[in-house]
Structure 1
Amino acid sequence: MSFTWPTLVVTRPQPQADAWVERLVALGCPAVALPLLVIEPQAAFVPAVSQAWLSLAEHRLVMFVSPNAALQFFAQAPSGQRWPMTTWAAATGPGTVAALREQGLDAAQILSPSPDADQFDAETLWQQRLADRDWRGQKVLIVRGEDGRDWLASTLREAGAQVDLLAAYRRVGPAWDATSLSLLSRIEAAPAQHAWQFSSSEAVRHLAAWIAAQPMPHPGLLQAPALATHPRIAETARACGWTRVLDVTPDASQMLACLRAWVEGPRASSPA
C-alpha cells in the first residue's frame, strides 16, 4: 500500500512559514502555512537597535533568539555599518544560523549547537559552545522580542558577563482571517489528514485560546497529531489538550522521517 502524507500545517511566523512549506513540499509532503505568531516591527524599538549597531565592536557576543530577531536587527543597520570581526554572533538553531549567513556573516563568526544536537535551545548552545569560554568582564547583547526566557542571560551573568537585552520586535497572535478560519474548518473536518508543526509554545497557546473561546467544541483540531520541535513545546501541547504529540528536531528531512514512521506504526503492527 502506498503511503499518503497528511498535510503538515506549519505554524511558524512569516517569512519562515512559507520557507518551511516550500521545503516540505519539495520533499514530497503537502504543507500549508498557518502562522500562529505574527512578528511586528515597532518604531519605538528602532533607535535602540540602531544605537546597538554603533557599539557592536564593544561586545564579545550578540545572541539572536530566532531568525526574526536576526532579520529585525539587520534591517536597522546604519548605512555602511558592517559586522565587526571581533564579535561573535550566536544562535540556538539552524534557522537562525541560516538567517545570519544570509546577512553576510561568515560561519566562523557564528556560535551555535552542532547540527546533530539532540536539542536546539539556549541550554545546548551554552553547553556546547559557550560554557568553556571566559566571560568575565565581557559584554553580551541578547536580541529578542519584547520578552522571552532569561535563562541564558542569567547564566552568562553568573559567569561574569555584562548582559544587555534588546527588544527588536513584538510577537502577537494571529488575526484569524477568512483564510485561516477556512483552513481550521478543513482540519476540524478531517484531522487524520492533517498534522500540526509547532515550533513555539506561545503559538500552541494562541491556538488553544482560540479553540476555548469558540461557542462550539472543536475536537478535531486537537485530534490532528502535533509535531513539536522541543520538549517544552510538546509539554505545552499536551497540557493544552493534544494527546498525539511527537518530539521532533527542526530538520525537514528528519521531521518527515519521524512523521512517516509514526503514521505507519499502527499500520505496520496491524494484522495483514
Structure 2
Amino acid sequence: MRLIVTRPAEQAARWVLELRSLGVDAQPLPLLAIAPLADASPLRQGWQDLAGCALAMFVSANAVQHFCAARPDGLAWPAGTLAGSTGPGTSAALRAAGVPEANLVEPAADAPAFDSEALWARLAARDWAGRRVLIVRGEDGRDWLAETLRVRGAEPRFLAAYRRLAPVPDAAGAALLQAALAAPRDHAWLLSSSEAVQHLLQLAPGADWSASLALATHPRIAATARGAGFGRVGDVAPTPADVARALVGLADPAGMGGARSIQSGSQ
C-alpha cells in the first residue's frame, strides 16, 4: 500500500525519506502550504519581548521555524522563559533552534495525544497569576490554551508567525491524487491537520472516500476525516516509526497494527 504524506512540502519531504528508510512506499502530496508573513517586524518585536514572558508556546514546528527566522542578531533565548511544545516535531524544532533543554516543556511521551491539552498537563501545577505568555502560531487557530491560562490569571497574547494557504499541486501531485482516487485500496492517506482534509475535499469535489484509509495524527483530525467520508480511519502517533508500524499492521487480521484504532468512517 502506498502512503500519501500530506504535510507541508518541506516537512513532507523529510517524512517521506524517513518512511522510505523504514520500508514504506511513501509519496508526498502537500495539502497545506506555509508562507511567511509579509511583515516580519511583529516577530522581531516578539523576540525583544520574550524576556518578559514566563512562557512562549509554539503550536507547531512551522511556528518555531518562522519565529526563529526573525531572531535579531546576537539575541539568545532568555534564561527565565519557558518554551512550550505540543509534540515531538515541535520539540525537535526548538532544540534545533538552540532553546536550552532546561527551558523546554513538552507533553509526556505517553500522552494520549500531542496537543495543547497534553502540554497543559505539564504546566498546570505552576502559578500563572500575572504571568505573561506568548502563543506563537499561524494567523488563526485554537484559543483553548489561552483561555485556560487566562482563567488562571495569566496574560496570554497571540503572535502570528506564518500564513496557511491552500495548496496548488504540481503535475506529480495531481497524478498521485488521480491514482489514489482510481485505486483507493492501494493508497493510504497520512493526515496531519483538519485543514488539510478540507483542502483535499476542495481538490477532489464529489469524490467518494468510502473505500479509502486515513491515518490521522490526532483525534480531531480523525473526526474530520470520518466526517469527510473516509471508510476507515485510524489514530496514529505522529512519528514515522509509529506510522510505519500502523501500515504493517494493516496486514493483520484485526487491521490494527501500530494504530490506536481503525474505525469505519460511517458513524
Q: Where does 1:128-207 land on structure 2 (aligned, <5 Å)?
A: 129-207=122-200
CA distance in 2, matches of 1:106, 1:194: 41
1:14 matched to 2:9: yes
Structure 2 runs not aligned, ≥5 long: 257-267
Q: Letter of the 2:62 partner, please give it.
A: N
CA displacement, residues 119-157 of structure 1 (integer Å, 9 cap, x when unaligned) = 101111112x11111000111000000000000000001
CA displacement, residues 224-261 of structure 1 (integer Å, 9 cap, x when unaligned) = 21000111101000101112101111122222222222
CA distance in 2, matches of 1:62, 1:117: 21
Distance 1:267 1:57, change over 3 A: closer
Give the equivalent residue in structure 2 for 1:252. Answer: 240
Q: Where does 1:1-272 land on structure 2 (aligned, <5 Å)?
A: 6-44=1-39, 46-127=40-121, 129-212=122-205, 217-219=206-208, 223-265=211-253
Q: Letter of the 2:66 partner, please give it.
A: Q
Q: Secondary structure at the match of 1:124?
A: helix
Deviation at 1:267, TM superposition (A): 8.4
Task: Verify the 8 A CA contact 2:29 2:169 in the aligned structure 1.
Answer: no
Q: Secondary structure at the match of 2:57?
A: strand
Q: Secondary structure at the match of 1:223?
A: coil
Q: Letter of the 1:218 partner, please give it.
A: A
Q: Letter of the 2:247 partner, please give it.
A: L
Q: Letter of the 1:203 partner, please give it.
A: A
Structure 1 residue ranges, 4+ long, deviating more than 6 angstroms after superposition: none
CA distance in 2, matches of 1:64, 1:161: 17
CA distance in 2, matches of 1:226, 1:120: 18
Higher strand fraction (1 or 2): 2
Structure 1 runs not aligned, ≥5 long: 1-5
| Cα RMSD after superposing both structures | 1.5
Task: Verify the 8 A CA contact 2:34 2:163 in the aligned structure 1.
Answer: yes
Identity across matched positions, percent: 50
Deviation at 1:9, TM superposition (A): 0.7
**TM-score, normalised to structure 2's length?**
0.92
Q: Secondary structure at the match of 1:116?
A: coil
CA distance in 1, matches of 2:210, 2:227: 11
Task: Verify the 8 A CA contact 2:30 2:169 in the aligned structure 1.
Answer: no
Q: Letter of the 2:92 partner, please give it.
A: A
Higher helix fraction (1 or 2): 1
Deviation at 1:262, TM superposition (A): 2.8
Q: Letter of the 1:87 partner, please give it.
A: T
Deviation at 1:206, TM superposition (A): 0.7
CA displacement, residues 161-180 of structure 1 (integer Å, 9 cap, x when unaligned) = 11010001110110133221
CA displacement, residues 44-96 of structure 1 (integer Å, 9 cap, x when unaligned) = 3x111001111111001000000000000000001111111111100111000
Q: Secondary structure at the match of 1:136?
A: coil
Task: Verify the 8 A CA contact 2:6 2:196 in the aligned structure 1.
Answer: yes
CA distance in 2, matches of 1:17, 1:67: 13
Task: Verify the 8 A CA contact 2:33 2:166 in the aligned structure 1.
Answer: yes
CA distance in 1, matches of 2:73, 2:11: 26
Deviation at 1:266, TM superposition (A): 6.0
Q: Letter of the 1:71 partner, please give it.
A: Q
CA distance in 2, matches of 1:222, 1:183: 18
